[in-house]
């Protein structure tokens, strides 16, 4: 009796196990491995997304905190100048506890609380900076600034019109027209300064003086009145 040591007798079953058959444990293990790898990749991607969102929320919260601190420091100084006692400017323990509770939900909750604080600080700035013009301060910039540019732009043209009605088309009226030619530029300059005084900006903001609109508001009345007087003088 002889033994056949040829490799052919074992190669066939090995190849069959590698290829796998229905119900083969190798194929089942491979499928479980792929499912676990996909699940792990999903968890990794979700963790990376959450970490990125958390990092963005932290950065935004830091920026909001810096802005709110700047506003509060300026407001505290102004309130002290107005005679508000320092003890009234400090938060009470219940207020601190409520603020701590509202920000206990992580960076997103902190960011939401800081944005609410910024809105309150902006409202306080409007009240402090409006100087009795709190309603007007919330108007659109052009409508608000027209209350300043308009009267300044009408002042000299109205005087010229009154002088023309009283003195007629004489030398006095002609001299007044010549003297009043720089009036729009002067009115615009005064309006530029007055807008900044009447509607001062909050910390970190700039005054919206609407210069083109202001120049037109100061120039158009002067051009209309001067042109009317000149035409009347030429036709007389």
Take residue 68 and report the two structure tokens written for it. 């709110």
Give residue 131's Cα distance to chain centre. 23
Rounded Cα–Cα distance for residues 206 and 69 (Å): 18
Percent of the chain topping pLDDT 70: 77
More confident residue, 122 or 130: 122
Rounded Cα–Cα distance for residues 157 and 39 (Å): 79
Max avg pLDDT among 45-54, 88-97, 150-159: 150-159
Report the number of distinct structural domains present in the chain.
2
Rounded Cα–Cα distance for residues 116 and 67 (Å): 12
- For residue 68, give its domain range: 26-130
In a domain, 17, yes or no: no
Residue at a domain's end among 130, 155, 186: 130
Same domain, 144 and 224: yes
Take residue 136 and report the two structure tokens written for it. 């007007």
Same domain, 55 and 140: no
Same domain, 171 and 113: no
Nearest to residue 154, comparing CAs of 191, 128, 123? 191
More confident residue, 225 or 101: 225
pLDDT tens-digit readout, 104-124: 767 777 777 777 777 777 777
């Amino acid at each position: 009796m002889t033994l056949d040591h040829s490799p052919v007798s074992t190669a066939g079953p090995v190849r069959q196990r590698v290829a796998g058959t229905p119900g083969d444990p190798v194929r089942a293990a491979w499928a479980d491995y792929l499912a676990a790898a996909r699940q792990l990749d999903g968890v990794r991607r979700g963790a990376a997304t959450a970490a990125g969102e958390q990092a963005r929320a932290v950065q935004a919260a830091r920026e909001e905190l810096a802005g709110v601190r700047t506003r509060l420091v300026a407001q505290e100084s102004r309130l002290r100048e107005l005679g508000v006692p320092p003890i009234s400017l400090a938060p009470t323990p219940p207020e601190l506890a409520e603020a701590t509770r509202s920000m206990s939900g992580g960076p997103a909750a902190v960011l939401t609380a800081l944005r609410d604080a910024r809105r309150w600080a902006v409202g306080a700035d409007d009240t402090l900076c409006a100087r009795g013009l709190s309603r007007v301060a919330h108007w659109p910039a052009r409508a608000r600034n027209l209350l300043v540019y308009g009267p300044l732009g009408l002042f000299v043209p109205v005087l010229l019109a009154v002088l023309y009605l009283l003195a007629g088309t004489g030398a006095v009226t002609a001299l007044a027209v010549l003297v009043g030619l720089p009036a729009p530029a002067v009115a615009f300059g005064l309006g530029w300064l007055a807008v900044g005084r009447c509607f001062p900006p909050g910390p970190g903001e700039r005054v919206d003086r609407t210069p083109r609109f202001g120049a037109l508001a100061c120039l158009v009345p002067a051009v209309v009145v001067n042109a009317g007087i000149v035409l009347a003088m030429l036709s007389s």
